[in-house]
Chains A and B, each alone.
Chain A
Amino acid sequence: MVENSRTPPLLAINNVSQNYGRGGEKGATVLDRVSLTLNEGEIVGLLGRSGCGKSTLLRIVSGLNHPSDGEVNYRGEKVVGPVNGIAMVFQSFALFPWLTVLANVELGLRAKGVSEADARKRALQAIDIIGLDGFENAYPKEISGGMRQRVGFARALVVAPSILLMDEPFSALDVLTAETLRTDLLDLWVEGRMPIKSILMVTHNIEESVLMCDRIIVLSSNPGRIAAEIRVTLQHPRNRLDPEFRQLVDQIYALMTRRPDMAKASPGAFPGLGVGMALPTVSTNTLAGMIEEVAAPPYDGKADLPALADSLQLEIDDLFPVAETLQLLRFAELAEGDIKLTAAGKRFAEMDVDQRKKLFGDHLLSYVPLAQRIRRVLDERPSHHAPATRFREELEDYMSEDYAETTLKSVTTWGRYGEIFAYDESTQSFSLENPQ
């Protein structure tokens, strides 16, 4: 570490790690020794897939969560709980439904003991800046999503924070509304009309990060580590069609589809090995749809992911799990931001429903260890029955309860489609019988 005599950075994240473990034992690592500084006058984006710990990192910065290891310093002081000077905007808006727009904005000030008249004045100012005039007395349920998120911004700005934290602030909005809000926010930022010194935002939208950020920190998943840092020097307002812009987007796509070094052992991009692999929620219809889309012209078996995402109107959090599931099942390969169908994938596209189910079942048994395990247990037992809890508990040795639940649900859906086993909801058990 180089000692620096200058004033400390606005925010310094030093070797922050986060594990979630039950009891005293150390569980899966969400964040692994992440270090990052935030300086005045910049917008920094944390870009990553769901499960890479980006939201956890944001909550650690805000003092809402405590890291298992490492520390966060705000203006040279260790963050041990929520601090004045750091305010947050939430993905779900998180407005108090029983308070009017004005009261929502005032709340942070009133809680600090600011007098009613003063709070009113400052709240009205913030409402004015953020473009909410006329909605002061509306309740959140009366206004649109875009307006609600504006309230979220006003509420954060009114307490005059130095750092604004944003947790995927536009992802719950429709495309047009999100774009309007982004440009409005950028205008305020560029014109210096907001009291904030710096913005740290979490996003899974690559274009959004290139559009807004001065620095993009790409986080890899499982565990969350900093995979790359990209400086964006384009002038605001940035143009999405600008070749330089496109090039950056492509570069980040390539970065995010690059297999990590350890991938040799793990065929998919999913965390965990063998039976303990966490599977994403992807419906078989989506998988089939994606294969058909890539097989058909103009792609003819090989597609550029950004282009595909664009034509299918999918965000990376939707697109990547599908692509990676296809990769896991050996229906496609991912490399350098491209998806390419394998021979099996191409055959799948040509088949009718029953043939598809057969092929899918075969691949599921060959390449998904958990499916293999369930099938083998069912084959071995004389009754050909096995309760779901048996597998759930086994999964929970490797992953959190939530992930175990999702994983089991996914394998159940896939197994049902491939007809390699049946599942009965009322008895919560797997079996080999298909209803006649």
Chain B
Amino acid sequence: MTQQRLIAFAHSRRASLPNLWDVAALILVFAVFVLMSYGSRGMTSPLNAPETAVLSLDYSQLPYYGLRTTLRMFAAIVVSLIFTFTYATLAAKSRRAEMVLIPLLDVLQSVPILGFLSFTVSFFLQLFPGSTLGAECAAIFAIFTSQAWNMAFSFYQSLRTVPRDLEEVAANFRLTPWQKFWQLDTPFAMPGLIWNMMMSMSGGWFFVVASEAISVGDVNIRLPGIGSYLALAIDNKRIDCVAAAVVAVALIILAYDQLLFRPIVAFADKFRVELTVSQTKSDSWVRDLFLRTRWLQQVMAAPAAWLHAASLLSLQWPVSTRQKRAPNPKIELLLDFVWYVVIGVALFVSLTIIVKFVRQGVDMAEVKTVIALTFYTFLRVMALIAIATAIWLPIGVWIGLRPRIAEKAQPLAQFLAAFPANVLFPIAVIGILRFHLNPDIWLSALIVFGTQWYIVFNVIAGASAFPNDLREAAQNFGIKGWTWWKDVILPAVFPYYITGAITASGGSWNASIVAEYVKWGDDTVSAQGVGAYIAKATADGDFPKIVLGVAAMSIVVILINRLFWRQLSAFAERRLRLL
């Protein structure tokens, strides 16, 4: 991976302290979820639970389940793309929409989506009563919520940074907004978007496994897929089936990477704006193969030409609204005022709904418990990130400085980051049960089990990008030992490390919901923490508790992001960027 893309990822996050807009966005998000749960009140009683497909633990079923899971992932990424193109474009082009949409996106990015699975599942089941379509939609929606935000952020960021001279060319040649979107905006945003799509996909596997088999109160949903297969294996205590699922997931991720993302990344190389030929060429055997075929290329030529023509349609409003005149300041002021009033009213209504909802099911004692539990989980996440850093930072540097090894290790780390760690949880539970280990400590390890790899591959990338002349200079002046770490390599990899750590921290909070409350057959192992609290409330179908738990977690995550990670990231950006 080239440094450009890794850094673009860090940039896609705004570095700033929480402000009023964030509070507003938080309130809006939670009001929507509360409304969804109101709508699905009836769901806690077995209403129209869709016919659960009969699943089998037969190995021969695995390819089929794998296919279903893959299709779900695919559907989710398509939805995410559509969301990205509309939401981010609106935010980038309209000042008023931007005021609300961007803080909203920021909050959504920090909210542990897994906690809301119960709401969305019941909501979609109600939309399509009695059919598996609702459950399918719920699963796809869960994956979507894990993918869409950072893609939209990256796209928005790109739209805002389109080089001015290219904008001027587009205006000079009088490209219509539609033409400009496809000829300039989208191509320019492509590298960042594709990189974020890959990151999203990595995150998505975790959610697809978690969302295919879910129980909310008495409603049990099992969609045919790897996740459900795994859940069934856990219920039946079939360790061989768990192993089979692990292999299947590994193969699917590998195929996805080789067949889909490698070609796309190689293809996206040409959208990079720097006008020098980059040293790092992305390779893909699939793309090379395609470029050598004649027959397939001819088949693809027609749709390609058609798409190209579509991107060049002028698509204009019939009235010539294009001749923009200077906006009338009075009307602008009035519109601003109306817009603020609308936002204000929406906030007020949201706040009343949330307060009313939480008050009926939760008392102050409960709130105190949740605060304590959130603190435990906070300690757990921070401690584990620290441990993972202590272990992987030196190893990552060691690997990154050796190009031969880095070349091999980098894809492996990326693969491990994509691998849904929750597939491996049962194995850990068996260990804990067998050796009577303390779950508060040993379940914690699961939290970073899947997310530590983000730290690994970012550190490797940072060390690989360390300029050779600096390395030689350090050698020449005989800088060794601790001084070398402190003054030479750590500052150089720090910006990369931060990118990885931010992703790892966000992922860990999400993982805590699954990792602090794990089952093996009828045995449940659970740790003290807000993750377990949410998971348990979900299993009981206790909606006010879920809202409380997720709200507590979200607020803490947002605060940590703003007060800790972004400050570090801003520092790295300001002081440690190589010229």
Contact = CB atoms under 8 A, between A and B. Distances in A.
A111 B326 contact: no
Interface stretch (A90-98, A198-206, A278-286): A90-98
Given A80-B323, A107-B173, A111-B312, A94 B168 contact: yes
A98 B169 contact: no
A82 B169 CA distance: 10
Contacts of B274: 97, 141
Nearest to B176: A111
A84 B174 contact: yes
Contacts of B563: none
Contacts of B322: 81
Nearest to A100: B270
A123 B176 CA distance: 21
Interface stretch (B115-123, B179-187, B421-429): B179-187
B166 A94 contact: yes
Contact of A108 (B173, B275, B325): B173
B176 A97 contact: no
Given A88-B168, A90-B169, A112-B174, A141 B575 contact: no
A97 B173 contact: no
Given A81-B323, A141-B274, A64 B171 contact: yes
Contacts of B190: 98
A32 B279 CA distance: 48
B172 A62 contact: yes
A64 to B, nearest CB: 5
Contact of B168 (A64, A86, A110, A111): A64
Contact of A94 (B165, B175, B272, B329): B165
Contacts of B314: 111, 113
A66 interface: yes
Given A59-B168, A64-B171, A426-B575, A81 B275 contact: no
Contact of B270 (A59, A63, A92, A98): A98
A166 interface: no
B163 interface: yes
A59 B277 CA distance: 31
B519 to A, nearest CB: 50
Contacts of A63: 171
B276 interface: yes
Contacts of B270: 97-98, 139
A87 B174 CA distance: 10
Contact of B172 (A87, A98, A139): A87
Contact of B179 (A82, A86, A111, A139): A111
B324 interface: yes
A24 B312 contact: no
B325 A111 contact: no
B55 interface: no
Contacts of A111: 173-176, 179, 183, 312, 314
B83 to A, nearest CB: 24
Contacts of A80: 323, 325
24 contacts: A82-B171, A82-B173, A84-B174, A86-B172, A87-B172, A88-B169, A94-B169, A96-B166, A96-B184, A97-B271, A97-B273, A98-B187, A98-B270, A98-B271, A107-B173, A111-B174, A111-B175, A111-B176, A111-B179, A111-B183, A111-B314, A139-B270, A141-B277, A142-B277
